[in-house]
Structure 1
Amino acid sequence: MLRSRIVPCLLMQDGGLVKTRGFGAPKYVGDPLNAVKIFNEKQVDELMFLDIDASAKRRPPDFKRLRSLAIESRMPLCYGGGVTHADEAVKIISSGFEKVSVSAAALARPALVREMAQAVGTQSVVVTIDVRRNRLLAGYTIHSLNGREKHRTPLLEFCRQAEDLGAGELVINSIDRDGEMAGYDLDLARQVRAAVSIPLTFVGGAGNVQHMQELIDAVGVVGAAAGSMFVFKGPFRAVLISYDRPARLA
């Protein structure tokens, strides 16, 4: 039986972990391997690593680093960043990760999603979609490459296409709410939930466990992911890795 998951989403840049705000102003928050060790002790549901520069710099995944993270981890892992071919997904899964995420590459060549599903199985293929609210059209626009490239494909159309091609999960990332810690975009969550039937994870905006509970109450079983909530403490955003769960999921 599926249940909701609470997922720390960690951003990697130049070998370290950073946290952004609105996809900009990255702040160093620690070492990836050390974070894995800490989250091991906190019995995290799942851990997501996204290399935010790999695709923008056309750099392949750092397979050596990924192997070291997988060896240390006692929890399911998802990785995204720089994956452009199915054989790269195979190497990542072989290194010990359970899921591989694609974003810009899937937008540029949607057939990649099918190729990955055939190579590693639907359950291991994640399509991450970065979106920004379009104030003029009262909808959402897909972006890629750290928010720099805008795409014309309608959000819900691309979500359905990814599902049809074999994606086992979608991660919907709100650029507007990234790092704000003021709550998820529940309208966005409801729209995507109504459009597809595969598992969903939402990230962008969580600042406390109540925000996560509100998301789960709004759309049902879902992945509630966050970055700032798990790496910052207090109004001055001191770096402190933590892990909390909504009371109903404890």
Structure 2
Amino acid sequence: MLRTRVIPALLLLNESLVKTYQFGKYRYIGDPCNTLRIFNELEVDELIILDIAATRTGCGPNFELLTDIANECFMPLCYGGGISEFDQAKRIFNIGFEKVSLNSSCFSRPELVTKLSEHYGSQAVIASIDVKKNMFGKYEVMANNGKVSTKRSPIEWAEELESLGAGEILLTSIDKEGTWDGYDIDLVKQVSEVVSVPVIANGGAGSVEHARQAVKDGNASAVAMGSCVVFQKKGMGVLVNFPEPSSLKGLSNDCE
């Protein structure tokens, strides 16, 4: 039985790593390459890097920094942020990244999802969905780093992205992000039940037990972790870490 993937999700801002709270205020974490060296030593299986300013500023991916990151890392890498053209994604793959994550471009250029999937395989394309509850408690897909509501249902949007060729869904709860309170299990379950591709639960992880809940109760195929792998504890200082292999034993949605 394969263990469920536990994936550090790191946020880039102006060539530094930061950690946000509900897509708003943020704390400085450190230099990307220094941080990634630690994750190398911790033998992390996979890693997601998201540039949270690349689309908003229009600057696109920082290829020089991404080259340094790829040269530093030994684990499979996914990059997202500011990818709006096929040639940008091609350059990222050529640098050494195994996957790309698309968010805003899924709205503006949905054909890009299909083109990348056909060229590199669906396993190389992660569709990122950011979700927030509106004032009536209804889930809505958000765009532009969580600033603009698309009025779309995450369930319908996930189905559409799968049909376009996305091989995975990175599902982030904005309301839970950075809280340490656990994943939005209802959201994860609703999306996982309507798509056949893996769903990566993101937003709110504070412990391995939260990951177990996302997998067992939410049917997530994988979990992403942010705050709890870059801080000592909630409200404390920076400490890059990763759960001990023994604590992840049995982390599978097939286990009893």
Normalising by structure 2, report the TM-score.
Answer: 0.93
Residue 233 of structure 1 aligns with an amino acid whose one-letter code is Q
Match of 1:6 in 2: 6
Question: What's the CA shift for 1:234?
Answer: 2.8
Q: Which residue of 2 aligns with 1:248?
A: 250
CA deviations over 1:140-160 (Å, ceiling 9, x no partner): 111122211110222111101
Instruction: Using the TM superposition, give the Cα deviation of residue 95 of structure 1 relative to its aligned residue in structure 2, in angstroms.
Output: 0.8
Cα distance in 2 between the residues matched to 1:140 and 1:129: 12
Q: Is the 8 A contact 1:2 1:221 kept in 2?
A: no
- Shift of residue 193 of structure 1? 0.6
Conservation of the 8 A alpha-carbon contact between 1:93 and 1:120: no
Write the distance in 1 (CA, Å) between the matches of 2:31 and 2:226. Answer: 14
2:189·2:220 contact (CA, 8 Å) conserved in 1? no
Q: Deviations over 1:123-167 (max 9, x none)?
A: 10011011002341x431111222111102221111011101110
Structure 1: which amino acid aligns with 2:133? R
Q: Which moved more, 1:2-11 or 1:89-98?
A: 2-11
Q: Does 1:86 align with 2:80?
A: no
Q: Specify which structure has the higher proportion of strand.
A: 1
Aligned to 2:37: 37
Tell me the C-alpha RMSD between the 2 structures.
1.5
TM-fit CA distance, 1:35: 1.3
* 1:18-59 deviation line (CA, Å, top 9, x unaligned): 000011111101111011110011111211000000011111
CA contact (8 A) 1:141 1:154 kept: yes
Q: Secondary structure at the match of 1:101?
A: strand
1:106-130 per-residue CA deviation (whole Å, 9 max, x = no partner) reads: 1222112111112322110011011
Structure 2 Cα separation of the partners of residues 196 and 51 of structure 1:
26
Letter in 2 for 1:83: I
Using the aligned pairs only, state the percent identity. 41
Q: Deviations over 1:207-250 (max 9, x none)?
A: 01110111111144611101101011134321000001534249
* Contact 2:48–2:77 (CA under 8 A) maintained in structure 1: yes
Query: Counterpart amino acid of 2:77?
Result: L
Residue equivalent to 1:217: 216
Alignment of 1:139-158 (within 5 A): 139-158=138-157
**Paired residue for 1:95?**
95
Q: Which moved more, 1:219-228 or 1:101-110?
A: 219-228
Equivalent position of 2:25 in the other structure: 25
Mapped pair 1:109 → 2:116? no
Where in structure 1 do 4 or more consecutive aligned residues deviate above 4 Å? none
| CA gap 1:192/1:2 in 2 versus in 1, 3 angstroms | farther
The letter for the 2-side match of 1:246 is L
Partner amino acid, structure 2, of 1:174: S
Q: Which runs of 5+ in 2 are unaligned?
A: none
C-alpha change, 1:139 and 1:77, in structure 2 (3 Å) is same
Q: Structure 1: 5+ residue runs without aligned partners?
A: none
Q: Match for residue 198 of structure 2?
A: 199
Task: State how many pairs are aligned.
Answer: 249
Q: Contact conserved, 2:201 with 2:220, CA < 8 A, in 1?
A: no
Conserved in 1, the CA contact under 8 Å of 2:230 and 2:241? Answer: yes
Contact 2:131 2:139 (C-alpha < 8 Å) held by counterparts: yes
Contact 2:117 2:124 in 1 (8 A): yes
Q: After alignment, is 173-182 or 234-243 more displaced? A: 234-243
TM-score normalised over the length of structure 1: 0.95
Distance 2:21 2:234 in 1: 15
